Amino acid sequence: MACSLRDLIRRFRRSNADWNQLADKIAIQLNDTHPSMAVPELMRILLDEAGLGWDQAWGVTQKSLAYTNHTLLPEALEKWPVAWFEQLLPRHLEIIFEINRRFLDEMRARFPGDEGRLARVSLIEEGPEKKVRMANLAIVGSHSTNGLRRFTRACCARHGERPGGDFPDRFSNRTNGVTPRRWLLLANSPLARTITDAIGDGWITNLGELPQTQTMGRRLQFSGKNSSSQNELPRQSLPTG
């Protein structure tokens, strides 16, 4: 992650002197919580090396980063012990604490007296072993969170410790259906043409249109074309013995 950021910034600085243009030139997608450290690392670079003030650095960071979540399973919602940061990355921990302080001040102003909410959305999980909630860090440190629609609902409704419910405008579900659409377009182009002939090309960007292929009046015609499309696919010889 640190090497990728360093390379992106090196290339950006070749022809750009204005740090405010960083988000116009690059887009950094955090794929689940594994690369969430990009938030404090980019802040560290902008604060300590570029010499920007906090507000400017934070604005550039949020605009440059976006976060994708694929599942609510623990491996995609990591929590890293604060002790690790204290030993290995103390400067990054300082930045995370400051991000959290400012974020909680904002939440406290929006929801006065609701200390329970603050504890749930905090970037730091209190307890016998304090931990950094990496999903919260990614959400707060980015301008957009995308994932499955089911994830978004669950995140906002059932998992109150995530700050998603307080920033509904940041959530979208752009990943849903990408793999089936790409498979049809790239691996089975005859079937893709058949679908487009039957219902138009809107399904390419909206998988929800595919059920139209099952409507009465098209079913027999579509099924016949589908059989022809399957027969057009090249046959692959399989090894024997």
What pLDDT score was predicted for residue 209?
Answer: 82
What pLDDT score was predicted for residue 159?
Answer: 43
What pLDDT score was predicted for residue 188?
Answer: 82
Give the number of other CB atoms < 10 A from CB of residue 76: 18
Instruction: Show Cβ contacts of residue 169 under 8 Å, excluding neighbours closer than 6 positions.
Output: none
What pLDDT score was predicted for residue 125?
Answer: 93
User: Low-confidence residues of the chain, pLDDT below 70?
Assistant: 71, 73, 75-76, 147-181, 215-241
Number of residues written out for the chain: 241
What pLDDT score was predicted for residue 212?
Answer: 82
What pLDDT score was predicted for residue 171?
Answer: 65
Burial 185-213 (b: 16+ CB within 10 A, else e): beebeebbbbbeebbeeebeeeeeebeeb
Could you tell me the CA-to-CA distances from 160 to 38, 48, 96, 120 in Å, in that order?
Answer: 24, 34, 21, 6
Instruction: Answer yes or no: are the C-beta atoms of 208 and 238 closer than 8 Å.
Output: no
In the chain, the largest separation of any two C-alpha atoms, in whole Å, equals 73
What pLDDT score was predicted for residue 76?
Answer: 67
Instruction: Answer yes or no: are the C-beta atoms of 130 and 84 closer than 8 Å.
Output: no
Could you tell me the CA-to-CA distances from 120 to 116, 126, 237 in Å, in that order?
Answer: 6, 10, 57
What pLDDT score was predicted for residue 81?
Answer: 95
What pLDDT score was predicted for residue 51?
Answer: 95
